[in-house]
Amino acid sequence: MGKILCFVYERMADFEMTLACHMLGWDPEKQLVTIGYEKAPIIAASKIQYLPNISVKEAINQDDVDALIIPGGFERECKDELVELVQKFHSEKKLICAICAGPEFLAKAGILNEHLYTTTLSEDYFKENGIEDCFPRQNYLEEKVVRHENVITAKGMSFVDFAIEILDYFKMFENTEEKEACAKAYKGE
């Protein structure tokens, strides 16, 4: 059974990944596993409490993992063990997905130097907040969602497109028409 690791952390924007998780649950071969820095409850931006199944350190040695999903959020502490996990998955060509501010973790792990990407975090955001911009801006695309090889990134309000692109990566649609119809249905179009 292929595991999908979902990184949960304090004040994460959980809505950005819950649709993807819901849809991945359609596949009985996929197992969703929440990971956190500690196996202790966290409170998301929605005020919903999450309890990670395993720690990020434990996730590094997990077998049968297909993907990692990282939502955006407001307290984006990037610890060494998450950098190690992202780099390991990248070297193994496993799917790595990040949305909104989540790509900041990928930038800090150094993998966006090799991939086209998008993010909600602009150059102005870093300037206005007096923070060093960790993104390789030469690879940035002003798009809702970007899929480049084994990396999917999206802007925060593009969570439907993000979910659809993840499902498409796993070939969960019969064809392009089914993919487009699913996207329209979830967007209420």
Alpha helices in the chain (DSSP H): 15-24, 56-59, 80-91, 103-108, 123-128, 159-169, 176-187
Contact 96, 17 (CB under 8 A): no
Query: pLDDT of 134-147, one tens digit each?
Result: 999 999 999 999 99
Contact 154, 140 (CB under 8 A): no
Phi, psi of 173 (to 5 degrees): -110, 145
**Which stretches of the chain drop beneath a pLDDT of 50?**
none
Question: Which residues are CB-contacts of 54 (< 8 A; sequence separation ≥ 6)?
Answer: 33, 34, 35, 39, 62
Which residue's entry shows tokens 């060093």?
132
- CA-CA distance, 189 to 176, in Å (whole number)? 17
- CA-CA distance, 77 to 60, in Å (whole number)? 18
| pLDDT at residue number 77 | 82
Token representation of residue 73? 């959020």
Instruction: Specify the CATH number for the domain of residue 40.
Output: 3.40.50.880
Three-state SS for 50? strand
| pLDDT at residue number 84 | 97
| Owning domain of residue 97 | 2-187
Number of structural domains found in the chain: 1
| pLDDT at residue number 173 | 96
